[in-house]
Homo-oligomer: A and B are copies of this chain.
Amino acid sequence: MVEVWKQTAGTDYERIFNPKKIAIVGVSQEGIGFGAGIFNSLRLIGFEGQIFLVNPKGGSLNGETIHRSVEAIPGDIDFAIIAVVARAVPEVLDACRRKGAAGAEIFSSGFKELGTEEGLALEREIVAAAAKGIRVIGPNCFGIYCPKSGLTVLPGPDLSRETGPVAFSSQSGGMAVDFANAGKSVGLKFSKVVSFGNGADLREAELLEYFRDDPETGIIAMYIEGIQDGDRFFAALKRTSAKKPVIVNKGGLSAAGSRAVRSHTASMGGRREIWHSILRQANAVQVGDMSEMVQACLAFTLLPARSFRNVTVVGGGGALGVAAADLAEIHGVQIPAFADSLARRIDDLLPRPGSSPGNPVDVANPFVPPKTLKEILRLAATDERIDLQIFTSLIHHYKNMAKMLGKPIKEVTPYRELADVFREVMADTGKPIVVILSNPKSGLDHLDVVEMFADARHAFIERGIPVFGSLKEGLRALEHVNIYYERKRS
Binding site for B on A (CB under 8 A): 40-41, 44, 108-110, 140, 155, 157-158, 170-179, 181-182, 184-187, 223, 225, 251-261, 263-264, 289-291, 316-326, 328-330, 335, 353-354, 356, 358, 396-397, 399-400, 403-404, 440-447, 450-451, 454-455, 458, 470, 472
Contact = CB atoms under 8 A, between A and B. Distances in A.
A425 B450 CA distance: 33
Contact of A158 (B178, B179, B400): B400
10 contacts: A109-B354, A172-B318, A174-B318, A177-B440, A181-B440, A254-B325, A254-B328, A257-B325, A263-B358, A447-B447
Given A178-B317, A256-B329, A447 B444 contact: no
Contacts of A174: 316-320
B330 A254 contact: yes
- Taken together, the copies of this chain in the complex come to 2
Nearest to A319: B172
B321 A260 contact: yes
Contact of A251 (B158, B181, B319): B319
Given A445-B158, A447-B447, A450-B450, A326 B182 contact: no
A329 B182 contact: no
Contacts of A251: 319, 322-323, 326
A289 to B, nearest CB: 6
A447 B442 CA distance: 12
B289 A472 contact: yes
Given A109-B354, A185-B442, A317-B178, A260 B322 contact: yes
Contacts of A455: 444
Given A158-B399, A172-B318, A251-B323, 12 more contacts: A110-B353, A155-B397, A171-B319, A181-B396, A184-B443, A256-B328, A257-B322, A257-B323, A264-B319, A264-B322, A289-B470, A444-B454
